[in-house]
Amino acid sequence: MDTDNAAAELRRLDTSELLALFTDLEAPTIAEIDGEYTAALLAQPNLFAMVTGKVAVANPLGPWLCKAFRPVDANGGRGYNTFREFGRVRQRYPMRTLIAPSRYDGAPAYTLVYRAYTSMCGSIHMVDELRRAAPGVYLGMGTWGFTDAQRRVPRPFLLTGPVGEYRGDIGTARPDFTPGPRELPGPPA
């Protein structure tokens, strides 16, 4: 399936269909994800997720533009999110990337761990998982929350690209951070 058709198909699906598809997709490699990728929310699972998603990333004062990544080595990388704030492009919310078992099915997923850096996303235990829907089209499942139940709610999003170069590392790493079960719980019990 080509990029435009794959992205359009993802936009038509509801959350349960997106999650079912996600479990059928393969994880991209660390080396594959390199550069900036246009980002968009997909169908959200409930009203709360829809409202918080729109406030966080569809805010007209600071709309979400992309996620960006760079491989550091064969096992992981770094990344950030980009927003347009008052006419300027700003990098926010750094993350560490690695391949880890998905919280949804235990199969490998390209995983974004925000807790590795000091930021609001790290403080709310945000973790995103990516899988390839087509060349240059990635289905993401975002999670965040303070309880296991909150962190199981999938918040689907779409990445397409790359559309630009990685702009450079940002953020302050948490000293001696090692992802734990809040970040990498593996499949549901």
In one-letter notation, the amino acid at residue 123 is S
Question: What is the SS3 assignment for 60?
Answer: coil
The model's pLDDT over 133-144, given as tens digits with 9 standing for 90+, comes to 999 999 999 999
Question: What is the SS3 assignment for 50?
Answer: helix
Cα 60 from Cα 63, distance rounded (Å): 6
Mean pLDDT of the chain: 92
Reported in sequence order, the residue ranges of the chain that DSSP labels E, i.e. its strands, are 35-41, 64-73, 76-85, 88-101, 108-113, 127-134, 137-143, 155-164
The model's pLDDT over 148-177, given as tens digits with 9 standing for 90+, comes to 888 889 999 999 999 999 999 999 999 999
Neighbours of 86 (CB within 10 A): 7
Query: What does the angle CA 177 – CA 139 – CA 72 come to, to the nearest 5 degrees?
Result: 40
The model's pLDDT over 95-137, given as tens digits with 9 standing for 90+, comes to 999 999 999 999 999 999 999 999 998 998 999 999 999 999 9
In one-letter notation, the amino acid at residue 91 is Q
| Ordered structural domains, the chain, with CATH | 3-162 (2.40.128.580)
Would you say 173 and 117 are in contact if contact means Cβ atoms under 8 Å apart? yes
Would you say 163 and 97 are in contact if contact means Cβ atoms under 8 Å apart? no
Neighbours of 115 (CB within 10 A): 22
Residue among 29, 34, 130 at smallest CA distance from 78: 34
